[in-house]
Amino acid sequence: MNRGALKAKTSKKLIIKGQVVPGRQQGRHLGFPTANIDTQHEELKNGVYGVLVHLRGLEHLGVMNVGVKPTFGSKLSKTFEVHILDFNDVIYGETVQCDVIFRVRGEKKFPSIEFLKHQIKADTLQAKQRFQHMGYVSSEATASKLGQARYLNLPDLQFFNWCHSQFRVNKGIYNTIDQWFYDEGIENIHPRRVHVIAFLQFAQEGNGRKTEKERVLRFGAGGLTNQLREFMNGYEKGEW
């Protein structure tokens, strides 16, 4: 996949925004209450996504379902429903913004409601694990508010220093990585920093570095761009 294709694919699906409206309460009956967002976004394919939810000036982790819910019938219209992790407030009439971070799976029709319940649990667990791997940290006590991940809110220089201490990446390589994700359409700073951290983990673990000296990230000619593309290809397939 070339870089232009990546940019087009990423930028179109990044943000879902709209007012929360009453729904059919199906998610609540399944044990996963959802906020139904009144919005249109035809480019975003039907499926399940991990999202960063902006609400009341705070950020939360969420799992969003986009589609026609084929398990419940064949004549339903396309809906955007987000289950905000560890959150139970009533938010009808409020505006939410969801930054799409990764795709969990495509839309499927399941043989029974019970089967669907098990799948939703699996989807939620997978999303939580991927968020944790990417650097988003939550706890039951803080209800997954991302203020817990304080390094994501650091000023630019301090955030680079944190990355340097964790991954031994130099300033030039860090700037190139950050710019690369920006050029791919990830303009919001939190999602971009999450991608930077996830890529640095990918690059470090992929090279099997063990000693402090070996932990220093180095890339040969063209190596950084190739690894970024390899990471992004696997990332969009749900491999990281």
Rounded to whole angstroms, the Cα distance separating 81 from 63 reads: 8
| DSSP code, position 235 | H
Residue with tokens 């990546």: 6
pLDDT in tens, 108-164: 888 888 888 888 889 998 888 888 777 665 533 333 344 445 677 789 999 999 888
Rounded to whole angstroms, the Cα distance separating 177 from 183 reads: 10
Neighbours of 185 (CB within 10 A): 17
Q: Where are the domains of the chain?
A: 15-134, 147-237
The region of weakest confidence among 30-39, 70-79, 87-96, 183-192 is 70-79
Percent of the chain with pLDDT over 70: 74
> Fold for domain 15-134?
Elongation Factor Tu (Ef-tu); domain 3 (2.40.30)
| pLDDT value, residue 216 | 65
Amino acid at 41: H
| pLDDT value, residue 75 | 65
Rounded to whole angstroms, the Cα distance separating 85 from 103 reads: 16
Where residue 2 falls among pLDDT bands split at 50, 70, 90? Answer: very low
Neighbours of 43 (CB within 10 A): 9
Q: What is the β-pairing status of strands 79-84 and 58-67?
A: antiparallel
Q: Which two tokens stand for residue 153?
A: 């809110």
In degrees and rounded to multiples of 5, residue 20 shows phi and psi of -80, 125
